[in-house]
Amino acid sequence: MAGQVGSVAVVLGGSMAGSLAARVLSESYENVLVLDRDTVLGVTKPRRGTPHTRHAHGLHARGQRILEDFFPGFTDELRASGAPVGDLGEMRWYFNGLRLPYTHTGLVSVTPTRPVLENHVRTRVNALPNVTYLEQHDILGLVSTSDNERVIGVRVRDADGVEKVLRADLVLDATGRGSRTPAWLEQLGYARPTEDRVKIGLAYTTRFYRRPPGSFTDTWSINPVASPAHPRGAFFGLSDEDTCIVSLTGILGDHPPTDHDGFVEFAKSLPVPDVYDGIKDAEPLDDATSFGFPASVRRRYEHLEKFPAGLLVLGDAICSFNPVYGQGMSVAAWEAFTLREHLRGGEVDQYAYFRDIGQVVDAPWAVSASGDLAFPGVEGERTPEIEQGNAFMGMLQYAASKDQEIVKAFMRVAGLIDPPTALMDEALVQRVLSHQPAEGQAA
């Protein structure tokens, strides 16, 4: 251990964020307990508590680098297991119906199904000698000191229906967007965090197919990204060597159907034919299922003036992004890395921690929230900066279809390596402007 901070840490939630938090806490606490209401160890299929994991996911660039730091050899382990691993710029990207050229960026993307990816992470975390997963445990509430100044444990109900208290020096909430910490704070006499919301009315509809012979010879992922001009989108890629996944997306109530004919027709309506051509004669392996995502939500814990000691929050419980941007798991990894930095100084100062987590969230939130506000039907304040930024982003995406150097810069932002402000570099802006069509010329 780098330096022991406490005896027991309890993590609420055993998905990606909770497991990464446990990995970090294991360096500073004698024992780490990870609680989840489901069975999670060895699970490689979607489970009751995480229905969204059935749909397309990606771990991009920054997230991949952090997991490689936490678990040396992790990327090679995934590759050896048959998981899709490749360069982010060598996916087949379409923006506004225009294809970006394949571009080697050096940014690694990992895209197995999320349950498979999480199983690899949990297997590595569970192998740590001081981490224990307590499965099939319902979380009932927090336990605090008599003055509510400090959280000292959590009340749970185990698989046999027995209620008990688990004492802890630290409780970390990684239960996702359904987190009850705002309500628990209120019960303890504290203010709830304020929330920022962008209502998008998104739905994913996903179906798995047997890989068609001769498909995916030059890439492993084909992504026509939704835009204001073409608000339907898709993610079509290999999930392993023999299986491919198709996730169709629609916003503001334009949701992809689950029946066979409707699903295929929705794919046919996309601005490029790749997805429809790939599945029209392919063998489906299951029925299509949908998952709704009404709004992106950011909880502003960094604005709270009072907060009980012994309690932290991480992952989607802080900020749940529009999933089409593929940011969630990578941001959770980034937050866990930030937690590690704070633990190296001893017991975490929550106010400093939440301030730094807020700074981690700032850039990806700006990308997703501003991008969503480019769609006319999405409610929200469109400042001049957002409108100008979205106008420039359309120009940049057009220019990227013609210039690999612009693709590289764009993918560094998409992969959470560089902030969005990096796209305003003077030389890059001039490069973007040089590729714009002449007035009156079609793009």
Residue 54: what pLDDT?
A: 77
Domain boundary pick from 271, 294, 317:
294
pTM of the model: 0.95
Do 270 and 187 lie in one domain? The reply is: no
Quote the tokens at residue 341.
């930095």
Determine, yes or no, domain membership for 44.
yes
DSSP codes, 169-211? SEEEE--GGG--HHHHHHHTT-PPPPEEEEEEEEEEEEEEEEP
Q: Give the neighbor-by-neighbor strand order of the sheet with 131-134.
A: 131-134, 29-35, 6-12, 170-173, 311-313
Determine, yes or no, domain membership for 63.
no
Do 176 and 120 lie in one domain? The reply is: yes
Determine, yes or no, domain membership for 105.
no
Do 274 and 361 lie in one domain? The reply is: no
Do 237 and 313 lie in one domain? The reply is: no
Do 131 and 33 lie in one domain? The reply is: yes
Chain centroid to Cα 378, Å, comes to 21
Q: Is the Cβ–Cβ distance between 126 and 430 less than 8 Å?
A: no
Domain boundary pick from 277, 294, 311:
294
Do 213 and 269 lie in one domain? The reply is: yes
Do 48 and 182 lie in one domain? The reply is: yes
Do 223 and 234 lie in one domain? The reply is: yes
Q: For residue 425, what are the domain limits?
A: 383-435
Residue 441: what pLDDT?
A: 59
Quote the tokens at residue 381.
């304040």
Determine, yes or no, domain membership for 117.
yes
Place of tokens 């895209």: 111
Determine, yes or no, domain membership for 320.
yes
Do 16 and 148 lie in one domain? The reply is: yes
- Separation between Cα atoms, residue 270 and residue 234, nearest integer Å: 8
- φ, ψ of residue 175 to 5 degrees: the values are -90, 5
Radius of gyration of the chain (CA): 22
- Separation between Cα atoms, residue 435 and residue 395, nearest integer Å: 9
CATH assignment of the domain containing 147: 3.50.50.60
Quote the tokens at residue 85.
């691993």
Determine, yes or no, domain membership for 91.
no
Provide the domain count of the chain. Answer: 3
Domain boundary pick from 294, 309, 324:
294
Quote the tokens at residue 84.
């899709």
Element (H, E) at 340: helix 328-343
Provide the CB-side half-sphere exposure for 282 (13 A, CA). 28
Do 242 and 280 lie in one domain? The reply is: yes
Determine, yes or no, domain membership for 428.
yes
Three-state SS at 328: helix
- Separation between Cα atoms, residue 359 and residue 307, nearest integer Å: 19
Do 407 and 430 lie in one domain? The reply is: yes
Indicate the burial class of 167 (C-beta count within 10 angstroms; 0-12, 13-18, 19 or more): exposed
CB within 8 Å of 10: residues ≥ 6 apart: 32, 33, 35, 153, 154, 166, 168, 170, 171, 172
Residue 243: what pLDDT?
A: 94
Residue 53: what pLDDT?
A: 75
CATH assignment of the domain containing 250: 3.30.9.90
Quote the tokens at residue 224.
């026509």
Strand partners, 319: 298
Quote the tokens at residue 367.
């990308």
Query: pLDDT truncated to tens, each residue of the chain (443 aa)?
Result: 457 889 999 999 999 999 999 999 999 999 999 999 999 999 988 877 776 777 788 898 999 999 999 999 999 999 999 999 999 999 999 999 999 999 999 999 999 999 999 999 999 999 999 999 999 999 999 999 999 999 999 999 999 999 999 999 999 999 999 999 999 999 999 999 999 999 999 999 999 999 999 899 999 999 999 999 999 999 999 998 899 999 999 999 899 999 999 999 999 999 999 999 999 999 999 999 999 999 999 999 999 999 999 999 999 999 999 988 989 999 999 999 999 999 998 989 999 999 999 999 999 999 999 999 999 989 888 899 999 999 999 999 999 999 999 999 999 999 999 999 999 999 999 999 999 987 655 55
Q: Is the Cβ–Cβ distance between 310 and 151 less than 8 Å?
A: yes
Length of the chain: 443
Determine, yes or no, domain membership for 217.
yes
- Separation between Cα atoms, residue 272 and residue 99, nearest integer Å: 9
Do 42 and 155 lie in one domain? The reply is: yes
Quote the tokens at residue 138.
């319902």
Residue 1: what pLDDT?
A: 44
